[in-house]
A and B are shown apart, each in its own frame.
Chain A
Amino acid sequence: MLRYALRRVPSALAVLAIASVVVFGVLHLATGDPAVLAAGPDASARTVSAVRHQLGLDAPLPQQYLTWLGGVLTGDLGDSYVRGVPVATLIGNGLGNPLELTLGAVVLAVLLGGLAGLVLGVARGRLLRGATAAATALAFAIPPYVSGVLLVMVFAITHRILPAGGHVSVLADPEIGVQYLIMPALALALPAAAVLARFLSTSIRRVFGEDYIRIGTAKGLRRRRIVLCHALPNALPPVLTVLGIQIGQMLGGAIVVEAIFAWPGVGQLIIDSLKSSDYFVVQNLLLITVTVFVVLQTVTDLLHAAVDPRLRME
């Protein structure tokens, strides 16, 4: 296992290193000079060059890159020159909200996807399976921005049951907070749930073809026992990897869902900063989301290898 980790982790680090160069390069390819923007609209050429010096933008590129990376590694993300506050404060203030949304969506995706996958994989009733298959196909085909608008239409406008948008922390006020959370989390969760359901049912059906299941049936085990004790534990590990990728996808999907439900999160911060050309903020947020994605993938790969020794070979 250690040997597998020693091989897997460096390649993840390599990916992160290259990604950081790409993200840094983006800032310098981006149209518009950050120094001009930071100095303000009426600044003279001298002020601009002073600001450029102050922001360290006149240093050679490799040096700028290393300064930035060193700052990121020590937790100093620099200042937003549009908002005039440290980037770390901006992100730190809003970090709880996207975490809440992602966690809510993951819980819903696992519950709905797990249930649908189980039905598709083991249920015998034709009607039940057909209905679940249709629901899964539909959930897969509806993008979050369509299901989000649809949810608002039905539950916030036609029936005034839930708030159309906004955010109240679940931790501060669970009862109200959940009302704000449920629709955005559901919109984000549906496509992931559909993917999970598909992979789980395929995985279960593959396991059902294995000899040890046939032996279980032959020696007269109850079907429920076969499914829960033998088929599921062996069908789950590959699904775990898919879940990791889906959580990673949610980071991007959250940008749209946050916009629909006016949910104050990292996605909104990225879009706002992009529109106000606050490149330092975008640069850091891009690196953070990419890092989270790579870390998630590495962790799920390691977990998968921990429960399935065959993967450690190759």
Chain B
Amino acid sequence: MTTTAATETPPTATTAAVVRGGGWSRLLRRPVLSMGLALVVVLVLAGVLAPLLAPASPARQGPLALAHPSAAHPLGTDEYGRDLFSRVLYGLRQDVFATLIAVPVGALAGILIGLASGLARWLDTVIQRLFDVMLSFTALIAGVTVAMIIGSGATAVMVTIALVNVPLFGRLIRSSVVGERQRDYVVAATAIGSGRVRILVRHILPNGLDPLIVQFALSMSTAVFIEGGMSYVGLGIRPPAPSLGSLLQGSMNFLAQNPWYAIGPMAAVTLLVLGFQLVADGLTASLLRR
């Protein structure tokens, strides 16, 4: 085997080949994964297309307050007579946008910082401690800290989600950096004179991609947790703007009059989280356990 071949077909490429080499159809044959993907796609589309799908504006008040489901209002109405189906769709939209923006930003930052730890020993130590500190602020404690600095709102939710994800992705890619450094293909790449940055980005990153993909799906589900938690206690998206967390919070006072107020947002949150987790489980089974 020549040196170039060794750098181009690293030993763990077989794992990734499942995805790349036309393996998507094989991946989708896993019932867990396809079920999860179906759930996620339907809910994300429902959120993105909310302005088209919603029968009414989420802010329009009506004469019927706390009505039970009917043909006009599939999920009933809230205390101001607003259509709950529309509010759940817009709440979903809020959650989907917040998570789809914040998780990739946090993941990217984490991956870059994690890769940087492969540049120098002292940098690795600094970055390790940085991640330790970030991890000691658990999700909602981080949320309180962020809300204290920039004030509560949708931005605080997104910043929190991004920050919480930085050490998670950073740790994963760092363990790939440490694990792959001794491998032959990295040694070979060093031998033919590749720079450190090139080795990290071109060789180590692609080989450490599988756990990152699984983490991404898991992070999407925890992001929904974080949005709901922060909005529920009033640090996140605040009424009258609908989000899945703020809708649930609003329903609390009217559970006796109209339980349907809570059922819509509860189902949306649970199905969305379940979808992301099924995807993560399916990906774990096909990418990591071999």
Q: How large is the interface on B (under 10, 10 to 19, 20 to 34, 35 or more residues)?
A: 35 or more
Q: A138-B274, A256-B233 in contact; A18/B133 too (CB < 8 A)?
A: yes
Tell me if B66 is interfacial: C-beta within 8 Å of chain A: no
A274 to B136, CA, bound (A): 20
30 A-B pairs with CB atoms under 8 Å apart are A15-B136, A18-B129, A18-B133, A19-B133, A19-B136, A26-B149, A30-B148, A137-B277, A137-B278, A141-B270, A141-B277, A142-B270, A143-B269, A143-B273, A145-B245, A146-B266, A146-B270, A149-B252, A149-B262, A157-B255, A158-B259, A252-B141, A256-B233, A267-B233, A274-B148, A275-B234, A286-B145, A290-B137, A293-B138, A294-B136
Determine the residue in chain A with the shortest Cβ distance to B222.
A143
Flag the segment in B46-54, B182-190, B223-231 that touches A. B223-231
A100 to B234, CA, bound (A): 24
Interface flags, A278-301, vs B, CB<8A=1, else 0: 010010001001100110010000
Inter-chain contact A14/B129, CB cutoff 8 Å: yes
Kindly count the residue-residue contacts between A and B in the assembled complex, taking CB atoms under 8 Å apart: 127
Within 8 A of B (CB), among A237-291: 248-249, 251-253, 255-256, 259-260, 267, 270-271, 274-275, 279, 282, 286, 289-290
Interface flags, A101-128, vs B, CB<8A=1, else 0: 0000000000000000000000000000
Which chain A residues lie closer than 8 Å to B225 at the CB level? Answer: 143
Q: A146-B269, A271-B234 in contact; A290/B141 too (CB < 8 A)?
A: yes
Inter-chain contact A140/B277, CB cutoff 8 Å: yes
Could you tell me which B residues sit within 8 Å of A by CB distance?
Answer: 129, 132-133, 136-145, 147-151, 221, 224-225, 228-229, 232-235, 245, 248-249, 251-252, 255-256, 259, 262, 266, 269-270, 273-274, 277-278, 281
Q: What 10 A-B pairs have minimum CB-CB distances, sorted nearest first?
A: A252-B140, A252-B138, A141-B274, A141-B273, A256-B229, A15-B132, A143-B225, A252-B141, A259-B233, A18-B133
Tell me if A77 is interfacial: C-beta within 8 Å of chain B: no
Inter-chain contact A142/B273, CB cutoff 8 Å: yes
A23 to B67, CA, bound (A): 46
Inter-chain contact A30/B149, CB cutoff 8 Å: yes
User: Shortest CB–CB separation between residue A156 and chain B, in angstroms?
Assistant: 8
A27 to B234, CA, bound (A): 20
Tell me if A196 is interfacial: C-beta within 8 Å of chain B: no
Tell me if A153 is interfacial: C-beta within 8 Å of chain B: yes
Inter-chain contact B129/A274, CB cutoff 8 Å: no
A131 to B251, CA, bound (A): 31
- Tell me which of A22, A141, A271 contacts B233 (CB under 8 A): A271
Which chain A residues lie closer than 8 Å to B234 at the CB level? Answer: 271, 275
A251 to B270, CA, bound (A): 22
User: Shortest CB–CB separation between residue B110 and chain A, in angstroms?
Assistant: 18
User: Shortest CB–CB separation between residue B258 and chain A, in angstroms?
Assistant: 11
A253 to B232, CA, bound (A): 12
Inter-chain contact A22/B133, CB cutoff 8 Å: yes
- Tell me which of B129, B144, B149, B248 contacts A146 (CB under 8 A): B248
Inter-chain contact B248/A255, CB cutoff 8 Å: no
A149 to B269, CA, bound (A): 12
Determine the residue in chain A with the shortest Cβ distance to B128.
A11
Tell me if A51 is interfacial: C-beta within 8 Å of chain B: no
Determine the residue in chain B with the shortest Cβ distance to A279.
B148
Tell me if A183 is interfacial: C-beta within 8 Å of chain B: no
- Tell me which of A142, A145, A150, A294 contacts B232 (CB under 8 A): A145
Inter-chain contact A251/B138, CB cutoff 8 Å: yes
Tell me if A189 is interfacial: C-beta within 8 Å of chain B: no
Inter-chain contact B141/A274, CB cutoff 8 Å: no
Inter-chain contact B273/A23, CB cutoff 8 Å: no
Which chain A residues lie closer than 8 Å to B149 at the CB level? Answer: 26, 29-31
Which chain B residues lie closer than 8 Å to A144 at the CB level? Answer: 229
User: Shortest CB–CB separation between residue A149 and chain B, in angstroms?
Assistant: 5
Inter-chain contact A145/B136, CB cutoff 8 Å: no
User: Shortest CB–CB separation between residue B246 and chain A, in angstroms?
Assistant: 11
- Tell me which of A14, A27, A270 contacts B144 (CB under 8 A): A270
Inter-chain contact B138/A145, CB cutoff 8 Å: no
User: Shortest CB–CB separation between residue A207 and chain B, in angstroms?
Assistant: 17
Which chain B residues lie closer than 8 Å to A197 at the CB level? Answer: none
Inter-chain contact A15/B148, CB cutoff 8 Å: no
Inter-chain contact A249/B248, CB cutoff 8 Å: no
Residue with the greatest number of chain A CB neighbours at <10 A, chosen from B142, B232, B262: B232
Tell me if A152 is interfacial: C-beta within 8 Å of chain B: yes
Which chain B residues lie closer than 8 Å to A140 at the CB level? Answer: 277
Inter-chain contact B144/A255, CB cutoff 8 Å: yes
Which chain B residues lie closer than 8 Å to A145 at the CB level? Answer: 228-229, 232, 245, 248-249
A252 to B233, CA, bound (A): 12
Given contacts A22-B133, A252-B141, A260-B252, 11 further A-B contacts (CB under 8 A): A31-B150, A143-B225, A143-B273, A149-B248, A153-B255, A158-B259, A256-B233, A260-B232, A293-B136, A293-B141, A294-B136
